[in-house]
Chain A
C-alpha cells in the first residue's frame, strides 16, 4: 500500500476511530450522538445522466456552485476537532474537474481523515488512481448497477460507462486504496439475480460492497414503491452473512458476526451542499444549518436537538421508514438545493431541551 493513503500512516485518524469504537461499545452498540463523517458535495456537475440521481445532477442544478476554499478548510478543521473521522467527497462527478478536487484535498488535509471519493469511475484511469493514493485518499467507491453492460449504461445514460467503472475499480485496487463497489438496492431489484451477481463479482475481486438503499428523493422523489420492505431487508441481512464484505452506514463496521446495527446516522454523518447548506444526511433533504454562516459545532448541536435524529433508529430514515418519508420528505420540489427547513417542518415537541442535548465528540 502506498505510504500516504494507509491507515497506519494516519495517527490522528486512528485516534478518532478508536474513540468512535470505544463509544459504540459503551453505548450498547449504537451510534447515538457520536460524530462520524462528513459527506461533501464538492460540485454538482456530472458527465452521466443517472435515472435515480439523488442530487438532480442530470437536471444541471447548481453545476457551477462550490464552497469557497477557506470555508472548506475551516469546516475540515472543525470536523477534525469534533471527532469526525470520515470525509466522503462526492458530486456530481468529482473527476470532471481534477483541479477543484486536488485543491480541495489540500484544504481538507486528508492525512487526518479516512477520506474517500464516490465516483462513477468514467475518468479514473491508472494515473489518476496513483495520484489520488499519493494525495492521502484512503478509499474510492465506484457505483455499478449491473454486471450487464447494457443495463448499467442505460441506467447511467452513457455508453461505455460500465466498462470504465469496472476498470476504475481495478486501478483503485492496484494503487493500494480500498476499492468499494457501490450498489443501490431497492424493492425493484432486491431479489433480482442481477443484484447477487454484483455481490459475487465484488467478493471474487476482493472489493468491499457498499449498499445504498434506494430513497424516494432527488430524481426518485415521491416514489415510495422503491423502498425496501421487510422481506427485502431480511434478504439483505442474509446476503450480509453470506458474503461478509458488505458495508452499510447503519451497520456496525466492527461487527465480526455481520449482524449488528449501529443505527441510522443522520447528523452523525452530515451532508454539505456546494452552497454550504448542511442536511441531516445525503438523503434526508432537511436543512439543519449552513457552514458559511455558522460553525459546525453549532449546526451539530442543533441537528442532534431534533429527536428524530438523536433517537436510535434501527432502519435508514430516508430509505426504510415510510412514516418519516411521508411526514418529512414528501414535499413537492424538496431537493438538496431546496431542502425543507428543520425549524419549519418540525414542531416544538420534536426538539429536545437544550440541556438534554448530549453530543459525543
Chain B
C-alpha cells in the first residue's frame, strides 16, 4: 500500500464516510463526519498509521485533505 492509499484509508476509517467523499476537495466540516471529534480521530488514525506525532500547530492547520498532504511532507511522508 503506498502513502496515498494509507492516507485515504485513515480518512475512511476515522470518518466512517463514503469513499467518493475522499478527494482533494474535501475540507474540514464539509461533511458531518469531519467535525471536532472526527478531526481528532482522524489525527490519531494518521499518527498510528504513519507512526508519527503531529504537532498541535499542524493539527490546527490541517483544514483539508489537500492541506494534510502538504503538512505530512514535514514529517517526511511523500505522496
Contacts and interface: CB of A to CB of B under 8 A. Distances in A.
Interface of A: 1, 6-8, 11, 14-15, 17-18, 21, 25, 114, 138-139, 176, 178, 206-208, 244, 247, 253-256
A178 B32 CA distance: 8
A26 to B, nearest CB: 12
User: Is chain B's binding surface mostly helix, strand, loop or mixed?
Assistant: helix
A139 B29 CA distance: 13
B32 A8 contact: no
Contacts of B35: 7, 178, 208
Given A176-B29, A256-B16, 18 more contacts: A1-B28, A1-B29, A7-B36, A8-B63, A11-B56, A14-B56, A18-B40, A18-B43, A21-B40, A21-B43, A21-B44, A25-B44, A178-B36, A207-B32, A253-B37, A253-B40, A254-B40, A256-B41
Interface of B: 13-14, 16, 28-29, 32, 35-37, 39-41, 43-45, 56-57, 59-63
27 contacts: A1-B28, A1-B29, A7-B39, A8-B61, A8-B63, A11-B56, A11-B57, A14-B59, A14-B60, A15-B56, A17-B40, A18-B40, A18-B56, A18-B59, A21-B40, A21-B43, A138-B36, A139-B36, A176-B29, A253-B37, A253-B40, A253-B41, A254-B40, A254-B44, A255-B41, A256-B14, A256-B41
Name the residue in B35, B41, B43 with the highest tally of chain A Cβ atoms < 10 Å from its Cβ: B35
A8 B60 contact: yes
Nearest to B14: A256
Contacts of A11: 56-57, 60
A209 to B, nearest CB: 12
Contacts of B37: 208, 247, 253-254
Name the residue in A1, A25, A176, A255 with the highest tally of chain B Cβ atoms < 10 Å from its Cβ: A1
Nearest to B28: A8
A253 B36 CA distance: 11
B71 to A, nearest CB: 13
A117 to B, nearest CB: 15
A11 B60 CA distance: 7
